[in-house]
Amino acid sequence: MSDTKNAGAAARPAGETDEAVDLEAEFKASNIQEVLDKLDRELIGLKPIKTRIREIAALLLVDRLRKQFALTAETPTLHMCFTGNPGTGKTTVAMRMGEILKRLGYVREGHLVTVTRDDLVGQYIGHTAPKTKEVIKKAMGGVLFIDEAYYLYKPENERDYGAESIEILLQVMENNRDDLVVILAGYKDKMDRFFQSNPGMRSRIAHHLDFPDYSADELMAIARLMLAEQNYRFSPEGEKAFAEYIPLRMQLSHFANARSIRNALDRARLRQANRLFAGKKKKLTRLDLITLEPDDILVSRVFQEGRPDGEAG
């Protein structure tokens, strides 16, 4: 969107029917750039996702301009499906999505309602429809985020109430496109199987976004960001130790990208507190309180035994 500058600014001579609208002014008025910048700043990596959000933003902006010329087009469907491994930022992006779509004027409130199978599917006959509808009503004007959406459909049990819930969702996704954006999330292979058995769902979702795994460098950047948010920082040696930790942890089982990093940092904070407590130093400076040293990281079992922390055994 860098070549927007010359699009609308030129003043046409009077009397020409082809009157111009100012794309740049519209762009500025919507504060989209601010949202996109924030996204760039606070979300590390995720190139394909950011590109798609940019495209959606451009589409909605152009749509708004077209409306000024009374060029109506159907409201674009913005239902999305986020697939990716654990901890790749699906929920975080969904949360942002509400705000972005609100800025773009696509949804009215921009709040996020996060649900799983339990919130949608009832326990007995006649329980599912009201339950699903209640959730849908709560999410109207915002974004409905269905985590682990593939659990909705259980092919092995044909009397499962999940199918009813899917049916209602499909209907709402089609008829109330202006009121609600539905985002499904789940692991890639399971979601693929889910869509195979629910072709109607697949075709109603316009955007299938696959969240890539993070590289070690990106995880380091995420760690720094997380620490900064909680008013902590690494000492230079501590940072080096953590940089060694990441690739080791990535090779172990149950690696959940950013979530594993968060857990590792939480444990480092624990050890830091313990170290400060055990150390006989009576007077602590501000710097002592915010700095994570290599000692806080190197005692992790990842280094000692090649096994993730926090696991039994």
Smallest distance, another protein to C-beta of residue 108, A: 6
Tell me, rounded to whole angstroms, the distance of Cα 118 from its chain centroid. Answer: 21
Smallest distance, another protein to C-beta of residue 271, A: 40
Q: What is the DSSP letter of 279?
A: S
Q: Which stretch binds another protein (CB under 8 A): 77-85, 130-138, 221-229, 297-305?
A: 130-138
Contact call for residue 204 and another protein (CB under 8 A): no
What does the block give as tokens for 95? 């949360």
CB-based contacts of 95, cutoff 8 Å, min separation 6: 112
Nearer to another protein among residue 96 and residue 131 (C-beta): 131
Nearer to another protein among residue 46 and residue 180 (C-beta): 180
Nearest-angstrom CA–CA distance, 244 and 72: 56
Q: Which stretch binds another protein (CB under 8 A): 105-113, 157-165, 198-206, 286-294?
A: 105-113
Contact call for residue 261 and another protein (CB under 8 A): no
For Cα atoms 101, 225, 298, give the angle at the middle one, nearest 5 degrees. Answer: 145
Member of 108, 127, 188, 307 binding another protein (CB under 8 A)? 108
Member of 48, 105, 130, 247 binding another protein (CB under 8 A)? 130
**Cα atoms in the 13 Å half-sphere on the side-chain side of 37:** 4
32 phi, psi to nearest 5 deg? -65, -40
Member of 50, 52, 54, 138 binding another protein (CB under 8 A)? 138
Contact call for residue 34 and another protein (CB under 8 A): no
Closest CA to 198 of 209, 184, 211: 184
Closest CA to 309 of 272, 266, 257: 266
Member of 43, 44, 100, 136 binding another protein (CB under 8 A)? 136
Member of 37, 42, 55, 109 binding another protein (CB under 8 A)? 109
Smallest distance, another protein to C-beta of residue 185, A: 21
CB-based contacts of 87, cutoff 8 Å, min separation 6: 256, 257, 258, 259, 260, 261
Provide the binding-site residues for another protein, judged by CB under 8 A. Answer: 108-109, 111, 130, 134, 136-138, 140-142, 176, 178-180
